[in-house]
Amino acid sequence: MKFVDEAKIYVKAGDGGKGCVSFRREKYVPRGGPDGGDGGRGGDVIARASRNHHTLLDLSYNQHHIVERGGSGGSNNKTGRSTGDIEILVPVGTVISDIETGETLCDLSEAGQSCVIAKGGIGGKGNAHFATSTNRAPRFAQEGMPGEERWVKLEVKLLADVGLVGFPNAGKSTLISRVSAARPKIADYPFTTLSPVLGVVSHKENTFVIADIPGLIEGAHEGMGLGTRFLKHIERTYLLVHMIDLSGGPEKKPWKDYQAINKELQSFSPLLLEKPQLVVFNKIDVPEARERLKKGVDTFKRKGIRIFPVSAATGEGIEQLLDEIIRLLSVRKA
């Protein structure tokens, strides 16, 4: 199924029904008085997070969600029919905001969580409510209150413990396919992964969720390479695993790559650099990568940054990396 993480929809809650103007008409009750009932309530538009939904694809095609108006009141003080609510199911992690005002209406971060994104109008009062000692036969009733209507933006932000970041072709997809059951597309060229991939990792009786964030490039925070579409998925992760490819040519500088990606993270949101981060040198199974490893490690050590050399293809070093991820995640839970 195609992964769509943004959609814009129009929602219109139901208007309240009209109050009724009516008078008792019985053979032996002259001047029976007003008996007009109230109008029915209009239904709400409700968004609910569901674990069975993983994309906004359906909503990107079905953009209009309109609730029927409440029924009008009737004679003999009968209240009009209230209309049912419309429920829109969205993936867990969906943020909903008003397009016109920019206000965040809700952040559905747990399965089953819901919120009203458009509230229905109440029904108008019938003329029975307006009888007084000076006006015993009111010939008017209230219109129903209009239901709320708005265009809203739905945006999915993945919920994961660990986010994999790095330049295209750094080996993130290979890593996630090795440590979890996720099977992203893998090939030896940049931008193989065009949408985020989630995987559940089990390691030494511990489990955590890892997200493969598609490859970033310089200028990502300004939208280059669909960067802003991808960067938002890192916001909910606790830990970042920064993967650096050691197999490139002489022009590839690990420290330069590390700084470039962190610059994009900071430009998108300074809070991203406050997250714990592990630096991984990948593809050490390639002969020329071994030669670069020592020099690269020395540069990072001088900066006080620990390095994890791994080969996502062969599995070398993966055990130590997972041990450290589990340790850092346990610190958070503590």
Residues 228 and 93 in one domain: no
Residues 72 and 215 in one domain: no
Residues 257 and 293 in one domain: yes
* pLDDT tens, residue by residue, 152-192: 999 988 778 898 888 877 788 888 888 886 554 444 444 44
Predicted TM-score (pTM) of this structure? 0.71
| CATH code for position 250 | 3.40.50.300
| Residue 1 included in any domain | no
| CATH code for position 30 | 2.70.210.12
* pLDDT tens, residue by residue, 285-334: 887 777 777 777 788 888 888 899 999 889 999 999 999 999 999 887 55
| Residue 97 included in any domain | yes
DSSP string of 286-324? SHHHHHHHHHHHHHHHHTT--EEE--TTT-TTHHHHHHH
Residue 118 near residue 11, CB atoms below 8 Å: yes
* Type of residue at 244: I
| Residue 109 included in any domain | yes
User: What total number of domains does the chain contain?
Assistant: 2
| Residue 233 included in any domain | yes
For residues 116 and 6, which has the higher predicted lDDT (pLDDT)? 116
Domain span at 229: 162-333
Residues 134 and 195 in one domain: no
Residues 144 and 166 in one domain: no
Residues 207 and 209: their CA atoms lie apart, in Å, by: 7
* Type of residue at 257: D
Residue 222 near residue 233, CB atoms below 8 Å: no
Residues 298 and 177 in one domain: yes
| Domain end among 123, 156, 189 | 156
Structure-block tokens of residue 54: 């993983």
Identify which of 76-85, 186-195, 231-240, 254-263 has the greatest average pLDDT. Answer: 76-85
Residues 215 and 289 in one domain: yes
